[in-house]
Chain A
Amino acid sequence: MPTIAELAAPNPGYSYAFLDEYAKRELRRRILKAIAIPGYQVPYASRELPIARGWGTGGLQVTLALVGPDDVVKVIDQGADDSVNAANLRRFIARMAGAATTTDALKATILQSRHRIPEECLQEYQTLVLQVPDPEPLRSVEHDISKARLLHAEADYGLLWLRLYEQLVRYRRVTLGASYPCLVNGRYVMSPSPIPRWDLPKLHRAAYLTLLSAGREKRVYAVPPYTDVRPLEFADVPFRVEDQRGWTCRHTGLQNKFMSELPQPGGSALYEISDTGFVEKVIARSKTSEVSVGVTYYDDAGRFYIDGYLQ
């Protein structure tokens, strides 16, 4: 007599790219909707993954839904390819999807990022996947998500403008740091994940597709290619990126790229460019002419590549 165990189908193990086909199909449909309505937060049934919530499961699910064996994946965390979380996510994606990995921003077809956009201008063949801890730009002014959705539906962003104005009155400047709210395609205000203000302009009329996904909060939204993205700013109080003029990278000698500050004993500080893949290429180019470094969003004098966007 055969046993039930013998009769049962053998355990097939995990699906390609970990997620089962239903999960991938659902996510792809939600992504299409997100692309069709720029900046609009599309709810999705976020799956549990073998990494902890809040560590990039939203971005990871989008990446796993998109990735194929021919893709080249780059994963960065705060600009670095070799930070432990980035290394771990990259290891998982490569293991489950058989995709190649790279640290070169221009060689990647999918870039999953926590809180940075690379310094080199990304191109049409690329997709940027941003991990998002809190997708709701109205959270600070409206805790109730049902009411916040109503405000989005009516494009009622008065509370947000009021908050900026209150900051001007109290502090004489806008005190928002990273995750600066921005208006997408003139319709929806979105939270651009906690990228620094330095990176926000890079989303404006970008050639590439940006997908933003919050696994814990179960929302995906998108900035399609060549879409307007404008920070909330008053005509007489323009948006400002982080002031790092005068900071020089200790590895490359470059200025006007986004830097990490490294506190030193005695109260001083050193600086290095946060985008480690970029630093790698700059150093390699100084040794051999075979390496080419792409055009950067900010030139060495700190001018943004789209004239007039930053006042």
Chain B
Amino acid sequence: MYVAARGGEGAIQNAERLYRELIGNFDAETVRTIERAMPYLIDRVMGEGSLYAPELAALALAQSGGDLYEAVLMLRAFRSTQPRLAYAHVVDAERMRVVRRISAAFKDIPGGQMLGPTLDYSHRVLDLAVLEGEPTTPARRHDGVDGLEGERTAKAGGHEVSERGDGAAPAASLNGELQLHGEKSHLPLVADWQRDAGLLPALPVHPCQDAAEIPDVTREPLLFPAPRAMRLQSLSRADTGGVLALGYANMRGYGAVHPTVNEVRLGYADVEIAHPITGELFSIGRVRVTHAEVVTAVEAAPAGGEASADGPAQLQLGLGFCATIGWNEVKTIAGAMLDMAMDLPDPHPSHTEEYVLYHTDPVESSGFCIHYKLPHYVTFGSELDVVRSMGVAKKVAGLGDYYGDGGGLAAGMPGVYSERAAPPAVSQAAGEPM
């Protein structure tokens, strides 16, 4: 038995067709162009979609006409159907192939600062010449200065940028990967230096758990207080705009912290899994990743448990951390600030774990927002009934004293029922078939 649905189905099919007509035709070549031309957009969709698949992210963008939330939804919906074949080995940040790392905490850091690819110090001037047919190349600058010679002496926001060897020499793209002559694959973490100096608490002795034992936010519900792994995973796939908005509230002063960016690093990480038979680790590919750490002075936890009654409170550095797949500095910096704020006593409501993690999921928040487009006449009808029962609504023509209210608690509610007038005249045409 199949009962064909009426009305609605034709309408939704036509509505979707209209949308597709607006987007126009696209093919595999369009998808590849999007993938090549918009790596940061692709990274954002992959990060929020929590699936590293540049081609699928580009396809989702093409299919949604660039509607970011729709693209993320498509990617996550696809992801949710895919089997879990293996668990990657925990990425060691020190072994990342770093193309950009910045510290605002120190003028120079072990291994040096690397500007890498960034628009931070460029003049955001529209390149109108492109519209006149002049092609753009990495070397052509908007102000007419060719090449990167002039940038060799650039300073990163007041920090000296070390000039190792041939420095941040022009990039070449190989298989979509940025190749920098000066890049390093074993840069020490700033936080490790601070740990050695006793400024930060030491890492746990056994930091690398079995990856399969780490709770997975895509497979288990997020409950509060959340395990730290769940928190970091949620931040990692959170909506960039949402994390920014709440992180920004922190930065503007809704939170008692003044965090400093310890380190932001962008680079490539090998995804390593254990061979199913030999158990040997091998790389199955390389992904773009970002991680950010912020620090601030916080009250130190008492060494032996109980704080001494008379000793002064101690301060040490507190660390906030956020990482995501793809290159997305804004999200990781704001996310790291939120991570730190959540650990402080009495955080601002906008920095509490539940508030932040529940309200920054792009799929959940955008979906709920647009669900208000659905009809609500049943619930609204119930609400109208309450409003009318209070006698404040203007009487509907022809209904006389239909909604009149006797008033008073004793008489009020039953009064609505007892003062019933005859059925409204407008419903006399009842009985007509649909």
Interface residues of A (CB under 8 A from B): 14-15, 18-20, 22-23, 26, 43-50, 52-55, 57, 72, 77-79, 81-88, 90-91, 94, 100-104, 107, 114-116, 133, 144-146, 168, 171-173, 175-179, 194-198, 216, 218, 237, 240, 242-253, 255, 258-261, 264, 266-271, 274, 279-280, 283, 286
Which chain A residues border B8 with CB–CB below 8 Å?
82-84, 86-88
Complex contact B363–A53 (CB within 8 A): yes
Q: Is there contact, CB below 8 Å, between B81 and A133?
A: no
Interface string of B74-102 (1 = CB under 8 A from A): 10110111111000000000000000000
Q: Which of A175, A242, A268, A286 contacts B396 (CB 8 A)?
A: A268
A84-B12, A88-B12, A270-B426 in contact; A18/B81 too (CB < 8 A)?
yes
Tell me whether A245 and B420 are in contact in the complex, defined as CB-CB below 8 angstroms, given that A48-B77, A115-B379, A218-B222 are known contacts.
yes
Complex: A268 Cα to B423 Cα, angstroms: 13
Query: Which B residues touch A19, using CB under 8 A?
Result: 80-81
Distance (whole angstroms) from the CB of B358 to the closest CB of chain A: 8
Q: How far is the CA of A129 from the CA of B76 in the complex (A)?
A: 24
CA distance A274 to B376 in the complex (A): 12
Contact surface of B with A, Cβ cutoff 8 Å: 1-3, 5-9, 11-12, 15, 73-74, 76-77, 79-84, 218-225, 354, 363-371, 374-379, 381-386, 389-390, 396-399, 402, 408-409, 412-413, 416-417, 420-424, 426-434
Selected A-B contacts with CB under 8 Å, 8 pairs:
A19-B80, A43-B223, A48-B363, A85-B374, A242-B385, A246-B423, A251-B432, A260-B377
CB-based contact A264/B426 at 8 Å? yes
Evaluate contact between B423 and A242: CB separation under 8 angstroms: no
Given A48-B363, A82-B7, A102-B3, are A245 and B371 neighbors across the interface (CB < 8 Å)? no
Q: How far is the CB of B99 from chain A (nearest CB, A)?
A: 27
Q: Would you call A269 and B426 a contact (CB within 8 A)?
A: yes
Which of A20, A81, A178 is the one whose CB lies under 8 Å from B81?
A20
Which 3 A-B pairs rank lowest in CB-CB distance, beginning with the nearest? A53-B367, A87-B8, A54-B371
Bound-state CA distance A79–B379 (Å) is 11
A269 and B369 CA atoms in complex are apart in Å by: 30
Q: Are A177 and B386 in contact (CB under 8 A)?
A: yes
A88-B12, A178-B379, A194-B378 are contacts. A57–B397 as well, Cβ < 8 Å? no
Least CB distance from A235 to B in Å reads: 14
Query: Per a CB cutoff under 8 Å, which of A49, A133, A237, A264 touches B368?
Result: A133
Say yes or no: A177-B429 contact (C-beta < 8 A), given A91-B5, A216-B367. no
Contacts of A249 in B (CB 8 A): 427, 430
Report the minimum CB–CB distance from A90 to chain B (whole Å): 6
Q: With A81-B5, A86-B8, A268-B398 in contact, is A23–B413 under 8 Å at CB?
A: no
Q: Give Cα A77–Cα B222 distance, bound, in whole angstroms.
A: 29
Residues in B with CB closer than 8 Å to A55 are: 367, 370-371, 374
> Given A115-B378, A267-B397, do A250 and B429 touch, yes or no (CB 8 Å)?
yes
In angstroms, how far is the closest chain A Cβ from the Cβ of B80? 4
Bound: A260/B375 CA distance, A = 11
A49 touches B77 (CB 8 A): yes
CB distance from A275 to the nearest CB of B (A): 10
CB distance from B282 to the nearest CB of A (A): 14
Interface contacts beyond A90-B5, A172-B409, A178-B383: sample of 12 additional A-B pairs, CB < 8 Å, sorted by A: A48-B73, A53-B368, A78-B378, A101-B5, A133-B371, A173-B412, A178-B378, A216-B367, A218-B222, A244-B385, A246-B424, A251-B432
Separation of A253 and B11 alpha carbons in the complex (Å)? 29
Report the separation of the CA atoms of residues A20 and B79 in the bound assembly, to the nearest whole angstrom.
11
Judge whether A279 and B77 touch: CB under 8 Å.
no
Could you say which of B225, B365, B374, B420 contacts A146, with CB atoms under 8 Å apart? Answer: B225
Select from chain A the residue with minimum beta-carbon distance to B424. Answer: A246
Whose C-beta in chain A lies nearest to the C-beta of B385?
Answer: A242
Report the Cα distance A255→B384, complex, angstroms. Answer: 19
**Cβ–Cβ < 8 Å partners of B424 in chain A:** 246-248, 268-269
A206 to chain B, nearest CB (A): 19
Chain A residues contacting B385 (CB-CB under 8 Å) are 177, 242-244
Q: How far is the CB of A232 from chain B (nearest CB, A)?
A: 15
Asked if B379 and A260 make an inter-chain contact with CB atoms under 8 angstroms apart, the answer reads no
| Pairwise interchain contact A54-B368, C-beta atoms closer than 8 A | yes
Closest B-chain residue to A277, C-beta based? Answer: B3
Which of B2, B408, B430 sits near A250, CB closer than 8 Å? B430
Q: How far is the CB of A226 from chain B (nearest CB, A)?
A: 26
Given the known inter-chain contacts A43-B221, A87-B8, A279-B434, please indicate yes or no for A196 contacting B381, CB distance below 8 A. yes
Complex alpha-carbon distance, A94 and B3, angstroms: 11
Name the B residues within 8 Å of A250 (CB-CB). 427, 429-430, 432
- Closest Cβ of chain A: how far from B92's Cβ, in Å? 27
